[in-house]
Structure 1
Amino acid sequence: MFNSAVLESISDINLLYGLLQAEFSLDGWDAMVHIADKLHYLIKELYEEDQLRQAKEQPRVETKDLKRSIAFYFGYSMVMKGIALQKMGDYAAARDCIEKYSELGWISGLDDEGKEDVAHFKMIAAANTYVLDLLEGNMETLSEYVQFIHNAEEEELLPGIITILESALKHNCNVDWALKEFETQLNALDGEYETEANIRYYIDHLYLLALYNLKSGEYFNALNIALKGLRMSDKLNDDTGYKKLNALFVSFNVHATKDQLEAYNALNNKILRRVLKDEKGIMYDGSGFVSAR
Structure 2
Amino acid sequence: MIQVTTIGIELEDYLKKYCITINQFAEISGVNSGTISSIIKGIRPTSILQLDRITEGMGLEKGSFYDLYVDECFNHPKLNWRRLRPLIYRCAELDKLDCIERVLGMMMDNISYGDVLFDTAEDLFKQGKREAAGLLYEGVAESEKYQHSERLAICRYRLFNIALGDDQDANLQAAVQFETFVDRLDEVDQLDALKDLANTYSSLRRWDKVEKVAKEMGHKASIQYKHRYDDIKKNKVLKDPTMPLFAYILYSHLLCSAVFDERKEYDKALQYVSLYSEFSWVREKSEEAQQIMCRFKDWAQANTYLYRLMKGDMEVLPEYVSYIGQRKDEILPALFKILQAAITYQFNVDDILTCFEHEIDVYREQQGIIIGNYNIRVIEDRYTYFMSELAEYHLSKGKYDTGIKYLLESMESAVRITSEDCFIRCVSLFEQYRHIASFESQRDYEGLMRRRNEKKHGVIVAGFE
TM-score, normalized by the shorter chain, greater than 0.5:
yes
Q: Secondary structure at the match of 2:243?
A: coil
1:50 and 2:228 matched: yes
Q: Taking structure 1 as reference, are residues 256 and 18 closer, same or farther at Cα in structure 2, changes over 3 Å only?
A: same
- Where does residue 291 of structure 1 map in the other structure? none
Residues of 1 paired with 2:293 and 2:354: CA distance?
32
- Alpha-carbon distance, 1:20 to partner: 1.4
Q: How does 1:1-293 map to 2 (within 5 A)?
A: 10=183, 12-53=190-231, 55-56=232-233, 60-63=237-240, 66-104=241-279, 106-152=281-327, 154-189=328-363, 190-191=366-367, 192=369, 194-195=373-374, 196-272=377-453
Q: Secondary structure at the match of 1:252?
A: helix
Q: Taking structure 1 as reference, are residues 69 and 234 closer, same or farther at Cα in structure 2, changes over 3 Å only?
A: farther
Q: Where in structure 2 are there 5+ consecutive unaligned residues?
A: 1-171
Q: Per-residue CA shift, 1:242-262, capped at 9, x if unaligned?
A: 232233223322221101011
Q: Taking structure 1 as reference, are residues 58 and 18 closer, same or farther at Cα in structure 2, changes over 3 Å only?
A: closer
State which drifts further: 199-208 or 9-18.
9-18
Is the CA contact (8 Å cut-off) linking 1:165 and 1:212 kept in structure 2? yes
- Alpha-carbon distance, 1:278 to partner: 5.6
- Alpha-carbon distance, 1:208 to partner: 0.8
Residues of 2 paired with 1:42 and 1:15: CA distance?
12
Is the CA contact (8 Å cut-off) linking 2:415 and 2:448 kept in structure 1? no
AA of the residue aligned to 1:255: I
Q: Secondary structure at the match of 2:230?
A: helix
CA radius of gyration, larger in: 2
Is the CA contact (8 Å cut-off) linking 1:200 and 1:241 kept in structure 2? no
State which drifts further: 254-263 or 6-15.
6-15
Instruction: Among all aligned residue pairs of Structure 1 and Structure 2, give the percentage whose two residues are the same amino acid.
Output: 22
AA of the residue aligned to 2:398: G
Q: Per-residue CA shift, 1:102-153, capped at 9, x if unaligned?
A: 133631124333322211111000000001111111111111111100112x
Residues of 1 paired with 2:352 and 2:399: CA distance?
17
Q: Per-residue CA shift, 1:31-87, capped at 9, x if unaligned?
A: 32222211111111111110024x558753222xx3333233122211110011111
State which drifts further: 233-242 or 251-260.
233-242
- Alpha-carbon distance, 1:198 to partner: 2.2
- Alpha-carbon distance, 1:213 to partner: 1.1
Q: Taking structure 1 as reference, are residues 276 and 167 closer, same or farther at Cα in structure 2, changes over 3 Å only?
A: closer
Is the CA contact (8 Å cut-off) linking 2:415 and 2:451 kept in structure 1? no
Residues of 1 paired with 2:297 and 2:321: CA distance?
18
AA of the residue aligned to 1:45: I
Q: Secondary structure at the match of 1:223?
A: helix
Residues of 1 paired with 2:451 and 2:237: CA distance?
57
Is the CA contact (8 Å cut-off) linking 1:199 and 1:238 kept in structure 2? no
State which drifts further: 237-246 or 40-49.
237-246
Q: Secondary structure at the match of 1:164?
A: helix
Residues of 2 paired with 1:278 and 1:235: CA distance?
13
Residues of 2 paired with 1:276 and 1:35: CA distance?
31
Q: Where in structure 1 are there 5+ consecutive unaligned residues?
A: 284-293
Q: Secondary structure at the match of 1:217?
A: coil
AA of the residue aligned to 1:146: V
Residues of 1 paired with 2:421 and 2:459: CA distance?
24
Taking only aligned residues, the RMSD between alpha carbons, in angstroms, comes to 2.7
State which drifts further: 201-210 or 69-78.
69-78
- Where does residue 10 of structure 2 map in the other structure? none
**How many residues of Structure 1 are paired with residues of Structure 2 in the alignment?**
274
- Alpha-carbon distance, 1:163 to partner: 1.6
Q: Secondary structure at the match of 2:278?
A: coil
State which drifts further: 156-165 or 242-251.
242-251
In the superposition, the TM-score normalised over structure 1's length comes to 0.83
Q: Secondary structure at the match of 2:238?
A: coil
Is the CA contact (8 Å cut-off) linking 1:223 and 1:256 kept in structure 2? yes
Q: Per-residue CA shift, 1:229-252, capped at 9, x if unaligned?
A: 111222234333323223322332
Residues of 1 paired with 2:218 and 2:292: CA distance?
16
Residues of 2 paired with 1:120 and 1:254: CA distance?
48
